[in-house]
């Protein structure tokens, strides 16, 4: 019996030691200064100024070409749109910029049906998990993220293995670059959609924690806009009417390309040609026009 207990104790000790070792190796890989996703890039971006910051989901990442914005305005720009993002994700990125002393002139947030979801996207939780036991993000943000598993060694990596598992650790260590240029952040789609369909909700929730946090962090420099949807999207007009009731400040481009369906990759996303046209229009309306006033 004593030998059995000794064996069990040895297994437990080895398991705990292995967990701490893996925790150290994985955390080192994600905190070396090399970025393979936008969350990493923002966490490690410090003490700088960016004139225009775009936040939101794939409807930002695929729509706003910051290189073109810079060409048109002569000012710096970064696209921090995240695939599948929710409002809380964007609020967290904005909070990290503030904590890291990254200043900006204007924050432009793409407001759409994501306001109906008051949570963090699983992909965002995975991307920020490596920093939860470090000093690279603030205590306030850690509390907002509400991840009790961070206190256990290696658990957050095991729970998010798909995005921050062994394969990603190896890619971090060999510094394999991402397909996205983070200084721009734009990822164009090279296809034209056919038989496009989509559905938007008929109602919009009256409050959203992510939106509220963004308003608190950037009270005088935050602009809301809604990017185009295809004209065949069900409930499109009803949704936009409801959205503007709750957020009257939102600038709608939802029907901008109703006569140019070739600009769409699918009902909710523009292709590269559409993104160029939209970036030019938005820049003229909200950035160049504003700078003249």
Burial-class residue 1 by CB neighbours within 10 Å (0-12, 13-18, 19+). exposed
Fold of 2-292: Rossmann fold (3.40.50)
What's the rounded Cα separation, in Å, for the pair 164 and 157? Answer: 6
Dihedral of CA 5/9/10/15: which sign? positive
What's the rounded Cα separation, in Å, for the pair 130 and 43? Answer: 11
pLDDT score for 148? 61
Which residue(s) pair with 108 in the sheet? 54, 223
What's the rounded Cα separation, in Å, for the pair 201 and 239? Answer: 6
pLDDT score for 35? 93
> CB neighbours (10 Å) of residue 279?
24
pLDDT score for 170? 94
pTM to 2 decimals? 0.93
Burial-class residue 142 by CB neighbours within 10 Å (0-12, 13-18, 19+). middle
Burial-class residue 219 by CB neighbours within 10 Å (0-12, 13-18, 19+). exposed
Residue position matching structure tokens 């901008």: 256
pLDDT score for 59? 98
What's the rounded Cα separation, in Å, for the pair 21 and 108? Answer: 42
pLDDT score for 132? 87
- Residues with pLDDT less than 70, the chain: 1, 147-150, 290-293
Taking 3-state DSSP, the helix, strand and coil percentages for the chain, each rounded to the nearest 5, stand at: 50, 10, 40
Domain borders along the chain are 2-292
């Amino acid at each position: 019996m004593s030998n059995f207990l000794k064996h069990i104790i040895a297994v437990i000790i080895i398991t705990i030691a292995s967990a701490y070792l893996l925790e150290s190796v994985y955390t080192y890989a994600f905190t070396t200064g090399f970025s393979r996703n936008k969350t990493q890039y923002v966490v490690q971006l410090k003490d700088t100024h960016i004139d225009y910051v775009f936040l939101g989901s794939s409807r930002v990442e695929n729509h706003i070409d910051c290189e073109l914005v810079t060409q048109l305005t002569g000012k710096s720009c970064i696209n921090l749109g995240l695939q599948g993002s929710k409002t809380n994700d964007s609020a967290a990125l904005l909070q990290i910029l503030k904590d890291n002393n990254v200043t900006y002139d204007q924050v432009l947030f793409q407001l759409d049906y994501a306001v109906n979801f008051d949570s963090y996207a699983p992909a965002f939780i995975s991307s920020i998990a490596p920093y939860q036991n470090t000093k690279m993000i603030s205590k306030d943000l850690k509390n907002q993220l509400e991840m009790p598993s961070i206190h256990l060694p290696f658990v957050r990596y095991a729970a998010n293995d798909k995005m921050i598992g062994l394969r990603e650790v190896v890619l971090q260590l060999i510094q394999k670059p991402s397909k996205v240029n983070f200084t721009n952040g734009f990822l164009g789609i090279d296809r034209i959609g056919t038989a496009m369909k989509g559905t938007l909700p008929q109602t919009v929730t009256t409050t959203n924690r992510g939106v509220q946090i963004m308003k608190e962090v950037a009270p005088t420099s935050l602009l809301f806009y809604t990017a185009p949807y295809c004209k065949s999207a069900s409930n499109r007009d009803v949704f936009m009417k409801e959205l503007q009731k709750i957020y009257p400040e939102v600038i709608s481009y939802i029907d901008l390309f109703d006569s140019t369906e070739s600009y769409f990759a699918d009902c909710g996303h523009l292709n590269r040609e559409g993104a160029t046209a939209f970036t030019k229009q938005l820049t003229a309306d909200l950035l160049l026009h504003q700078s003249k006033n």
